[in-house]
Amino acid sequence: MNLYVWVLAIALAVAALANWRAVARGQREIETLAKPAFMVLLIALAWLMHADVVSYGQFLLAGLVLSLIGDVLLLGDSDVHFLGGLVAFLLGHLAYIAAFRRVPGDGPIWIGVLLVVLAVGVVLWLRLVPRLRADWREGAPLVLYAVIIGAMAALAWATGLWVVGLGATLFLVSDTVLAYQRFEGDLPHGRLVVMVTYHLAQVLIVVGLLRC
């Protein structure tokens, strides 16, 4: 890696730590700056790692930009902000799916694929389908989102790149905790868990795809 990549990597770590500290301490002003700063730096890092010259790089960059938009929207507290963030991340997951499908790999890591499918299936059957039956307007977007992020995580393992698979699985964990916090109730340090797993997920996906 060249000097610029190292500088960005260090800045990325500083932004992540600042965001985690702000979330843990409830420092909203710092979180408002550090949260989008992390994704801006990660997009720049992906660009410096030549995301623009690989066949799947444009989809990876699109997914990162959409994630940045989702992050900014989720800084708001209203239902409109949450819905906007949901749509942005939904489109971001579709972009990641397009990227993963173009990755030349050695074959799927089937244990990862199967575990993701099983986990998403259990959540759908036990939590989301009953919500869909009770109120389809509320339940349908959640079911759709769960299916798409589950497909994203399963396809990540199907690339044969365990780093990408781990990153996508952490993304699945982050979104699951976020949804639980939104619709079920608070978890101890729930918001911090969401951000730590989210940041690690994005870094692992970028590094896994661009260092393969």
- How many other C-beta atoms lie within 10 A of the C-beta of residue 121? 12
Q: What pLDDT shows up at residue 2?
A: 74
What's residue 183's pLDDT? 79
> Which pairs from 172-181 meet CB under 8 Å and 24+ separation?
172/116, 172/119, 172/120, 173/197, 173/201, 174/198, 174/201, 175/89, 175/145, 175/149, 176/123, 179/142
Which residue stretches of the chain have pLDDT < 70?
1, 212
Spatial contact of 116 and 147, defined as CB atoms under 8 Å apart: no
Non-local (6+) Cβ contacts of 23 within 8 A are: 31, 191, 192, 195
Full residue range of the structural domain in which residue 146 is found: 3-210
The pTM assigned to this predicted structure is: 0.93
Question: How far is it, in rounded angstroms, from Cα 28 to Cα 208?
Answer: 31
Cβ contacts of residue 147 below 8 Å, gap of 6+? 120, 124
pLDDT of residue 98: 97
Contact present, 96 and 63 (Cβ < 8 Å): yes
Quick one: pLDDT at residue 131?
Answer: 81
| pLDDT value, residue 187 | 85
Question: What total number of domains does the chain contain?
Answer: 1
User: What does the pLDDT read at residue 212?
Assistant: 60
First-to-last alpha carbon distance for the chain, in angstroms, is 14
φ and ψ at 56, to 5 degrees?
Answer: -100, 0
What per-residue confidence (pLDDT) applies to 146?
93
